[in-house]
């Protein structure tokens, strides 16, 4: 009986905890709307009352605070990198505690700061303040911060705090993003400048496959963003960025496809112009020979990278761009003519590879390596890039979305977790009923 009750309590706690953590997770681009400079200012008005408390237990300070009121000011800059928040700025040498976190449902960002007052004559006196930054769902960004609590405290050497009876008037102001701060990622949509696509030929693009759509940013030429979905259409000037688990396959004008692996940034201008800024992509035509497709194109088929522009003559190749700009073109079929930033021309007219370093230098054409073939195989892993085209050319229904898979798994686990306590409760009731019946008999 006791074991059953314990199991019931255990499963109930697990169920509640599971529901608690399964909230919407903010994307990195949304989290980065929190980046910028924050100014914290305030004063302590009732200094006399604070001095009385300082002279009593448990402090027994001989020192007192000067009149007029204490002036407090701290300016910090918050940045988001690699899954965590960092701060820099003036006065951080007196900072004893900093914590930044996002609500499990993604509805708000919480900021907690504790700071010693360095120029005070009272040892270990400081200020502790907490703030909340709500998330604006329509604008897909975090709003201005709201100071929820501020306290005048004594900070022990172990970092513990005890409150003083202070009347604090504090303000927290978001001064905005520092435009001079270098960013590793593309700016968020609120800082995006619309692209002029009048120079581009019309593009009929379609997302063939998307895996873990929340790990992918899709930004249109007008700077509007959308979560990519299977069979979603897009036009010229669309920017894609995949995060650590995002996989994507695009169809351009039903003539060729682009498979995109995680940590890739690329701009699809038209059918004949793709700009790969970073990451690894596979380009492949949907016809047997280049001669059958070249007449369909409205211009030269080009792929632009930080170090070179490639004029493509067909038909299967990989483009691999590192963060420092180093670029590798790997050709499996067809031909590629490269023009590097140093105006060097390199022709790949048979299977091979060309590596271009971060200075634009290249050693010319090299034979394919075993690693190149492994890279090719990565793009043909059915678990990551399931085949979608049947023999008759019609698309088959393929559950290629990692979001759908994860939702199904979540639903099954949720049902098991929620049903288990009910079953145990019924067992307990039956046991109690039998015991009661026996005693009555």
CATH number (domain holding residue 347): 2.60.120.1440
Could you tell me if 350 and 309 lie in one domain?
A: yes
- Same domain for 101 and 52, yes or no, is yes
Do 75 and 90 form a contact (C-beta atoms < 8 A)?
yes
213 with 288, same domain: the answer is yes
Residues comprising the chain, all counted: 441
Residue that is last in its domain, among 176, 209, 224: 176
The Cβ of residue 236 has, within 10 Å, a number of other Cβ atoms equal to 22
Which DSSP helix (H) or strand (E) runs through 75? strand 70-81
The verdict on residue 71 lying in a domain is: yes
First-to-last alpha carbon distance for the chain, in angstroms, is: 21
Q: Is 46 exposed, middle or buried (0-12, 13-18, 19+ CB in 10 A)?
A: middle
Predicted local confidence at residue 128, as pLDDT: 83
Which domain range does residue 13 map to?
1-27+401-441
- CA 93/CA 89 separation, integer angstroms: 9
Q: Are residues 170 and 196 in the same domain?
A: no
Please indicate, yes or no, whether residues 283 and 209 belong to a single structural domain of this protein: yes
Task: Say yes or no: 301 and 211 in one domain.
Answer: yes
What distance in Å separates the CA atoms of residue 308 and residue 311, rounded to the nearest whole number?
10
- 21/41 same-domain check: no
Within a domain: residue 297? yes
Between CA 209 and CA 400 the distance in angstroms is: 6
111 and 171 fall within a common domain: yes
List Cβ neighbours of 421 (8 Å cut-off, separation of 6 or more): 8, 11, 12, 15
pLDDT on residue 18 = 33
Residue ending a domain, choose from 128, 147, 176: 176
Residues 23 and 40 grouped into a single domain = no
Q: pLDDT tens digits, the chain, 441 residues: what are they? A: 333 333 333 333 333 333 232 234 567 777 777 888 888 887 877 888 888 888 888 888 888 877 555 677 777 778 776 566 777 666 555 666 777 778 877 788 888 888 777 667 788 888 888 888 888 776 677 778 888 888 888 887 666 778 888 877 888 888 776 544 443 444 444 457 788 777 676 777 889 988 877 789 899 888 888 888 888 888 888 999 999 888 999 988 777 789 999 999 999 987 668 999 999 999 987 665 455 556 655 556 789 998 999 887 767 999 999 988 899 999 999 888 998 988 899 999 899 999 999 888 998 899 999 999 999 999 988 888 876 543 333 333 333 444 445 556 667 777 877 777 788 888 888 877 777 776 655
Asked whether residue 186 is domain-assigned, the answer is: no
Sheet holding 84-90, edge to edge: 84-90, 70-81, 36-44, 168-176
Q: Please indicate, yes or no, whether residues 216 and 349 belong to a single structural domain of this protein.
A: yes
Exposed/middle/buried for 43, CB within 10 Å: 0-12, 13-18, 19+? middle
Between CA 248 and CA 242 the distance in angstroms is: 8
351 close to 332: Cβ distance less than 8 angstroms: yes
**% of the chain surpassing 70 pLDDT:** 73
Task: Tell me the sheet residues that pair with 89.
Answer: 76
- What are the φ and ψ backbone dihedral angles of 14, each rounded to 5 degrees? -60, -45
CA distance 248 to 263: 11
In a domain, 389, yes or no: no
Indicate whether 181 belongs to any domain. no
Diameter of the chain by CA atoms?
100
Residues 166 and 207 in one domain: no
- CB neighbours (10 Å) of residue 60? 8
User: How many domains does the structure of the chain reveal?
Assistant: 3
Alpha-carbon distance of 202 to 236, in angstroms, equals: 6
pLDDT in tens, 170-184: 888 887 765 444 434
Cis-peptide into 58, omega within 30 deg? yes
- In this structure, the answer to whether residues 40 and 10 fall within a common structural domain is no
Residue 187 lies in a domain: no
Chain segment 328-379, per-residue pLDDT in tens: 999 999 888 998 988 899 999 899 999 999 888 998 899 999 999 999 999 9
Task: Report pLDDT for 291.
Answer: 58
426 domain residue, yes or no: yes
From 126, 151, 176, the end of a domain falls on: 176
Is residue 91 included in any domain, yes or no? yes
Name the residue among 342, 379, 350, 377 with its Cα closest to residue 366: 350
Tell me the HSE value of 304 on the side-chain side, using a 13 A CA sphere. Answer: 12
């Amino acid at each position: 009986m006791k074991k059953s009750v314990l199991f019931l309590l255990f499963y109930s706690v697990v169920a509640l905890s599971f529901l608690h953590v399964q909230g919407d997770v903010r994307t990195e681009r949304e989290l980065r709307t929190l980046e910028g400079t924050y100014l914290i200012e305030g004063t302590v008005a009732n200094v006399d009352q604070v001095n009385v408390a300082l002279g009593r237990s448990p402090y027994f300070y001989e020192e007192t605070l000067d009149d007029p009121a204490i002036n407090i000011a701290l300016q910090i800059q918050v940045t988001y990198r690699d899954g965590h928040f960092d701060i820099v700025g003036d006065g951080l040498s007196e900072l004893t505690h900093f914590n930044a976190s996002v609500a499990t449902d993604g509805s708000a960002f919480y900021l907690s700061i504790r700071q010693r007052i360095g120029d005070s004559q009272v040892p270990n006196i400081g200020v502790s303040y907490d703030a909340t930054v709500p998330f604006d769902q329509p604008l897909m960004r975090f709003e201005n911060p709201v100071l929820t609590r501020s306290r005048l405290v004594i900070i022990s050497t172990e970092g513990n705090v005890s409150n003083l009876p202070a009347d604090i008037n504090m303000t927290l102001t978001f001064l905005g993003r520092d435009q001079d701060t270098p960013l590793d990622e593309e700016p968020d949509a609120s800082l995006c400048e619309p692209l002029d696509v009048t120079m581009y030929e019309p593009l009929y693009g379609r997302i063939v496959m998307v895996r873990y759509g929340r790990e992918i940013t899709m930004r249109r030429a007008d700077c509007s963003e959308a979560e990519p979905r299977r069979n979603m259409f897009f036009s010229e000037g669309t920017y894609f960025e995949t995060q650590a688990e995002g996989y994507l396959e695009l169809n351009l004008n039903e003539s060729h496809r682009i498979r995109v692996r995680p940590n890739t940034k690329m701009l699809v201008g038209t059918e004949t112009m793709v700009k790969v800024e970073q990451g690894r992509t596979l380009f492949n035509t949907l016809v047997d020979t280049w001669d059958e497709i070249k007449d369909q194109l409205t211009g030269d088929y080009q792929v632009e990278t930080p170090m070179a522009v490639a004029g493509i003559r067909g038909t299967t190749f990989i483009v691999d761009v590192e963060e420092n700009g180093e670029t590798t073109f790997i050709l499996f079929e067809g031909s590629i003519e490269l023009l590097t930033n140093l105006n060097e021309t390199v022709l790949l007219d048979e299977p091979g590879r060309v590596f271009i370093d971060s200075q634009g230098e290249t050693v010319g054409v090299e034979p394919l390596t075993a690693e190149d073939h492994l890279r090719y195989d990565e793009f043909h892993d059915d678990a990551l890039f399931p085949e979608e085209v049947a023999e008759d050319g019609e698309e088959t229904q393929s559950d290629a979305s990692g979001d759908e898979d994860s939702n199904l798994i979540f639903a099954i686990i949720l049902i098991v977790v929620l049903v288990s306590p009910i079953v145990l409760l019924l067992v307990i009731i039956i046991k109690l009923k039998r015991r009661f019946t026996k005693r009555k008999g």
